[in-house]
């Protein structure tokens, strides 16, 4: 998911962002692995937070077709990151939405 970001190859929309990244990589070039790990960890946490927010928004909506896909997909994301307890919660929620609306 977020484990293959090599900061030396970063692409940016703004030139000043690219310069900032290049300067950071240049300062710690001998330890760029650490920079990559930190960035990848932050991106991973951002993905997980976005999934949590998507599920929270789903909880506020009335049933519509495909609504259970959001917590199900969040469960898949958390499973891929070995966060099984939270994944299980999302899977159960998706099944509850599907069962509650299809009479299962």
The answer to whether 96 and 84 have CB atoms below 8 angstroms apart is no
Residue 64 CB burial class (10 angstroms; 0-12, 13-18, ≥19): exposed
pLDDT surpasses 50 at 30? yes
44-57 mean pLDDT: 92
What tens digit of pLDDT does each residue of 62-76 get? 877 889 999 999 999
Residue partners of 20: CB distance under 8 A and separation at least 6: none
């Amino acid at each position: 998911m977020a484990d293959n970001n090599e900061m030396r190859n970063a692409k940016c929309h703004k030139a000043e962002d690219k310069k900032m990244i290049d300067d950071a990589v240049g300062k710690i070039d001998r330890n760029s692995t650490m920079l990559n790990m930190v960035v990848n960890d932050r991106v991973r946490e951002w993905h997980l937070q976005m999934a949590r927010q998507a599920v929270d928004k789903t909880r506020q909506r009335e049933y519509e077709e495909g609504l259970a896909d959001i917590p199900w997909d969040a469960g898949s994301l958390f499973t891929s990151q070995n966060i099984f307890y939270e994944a299980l919660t999302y899977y159960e929620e998706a099944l509850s939405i599907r069962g509650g609306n299809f009479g299962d």
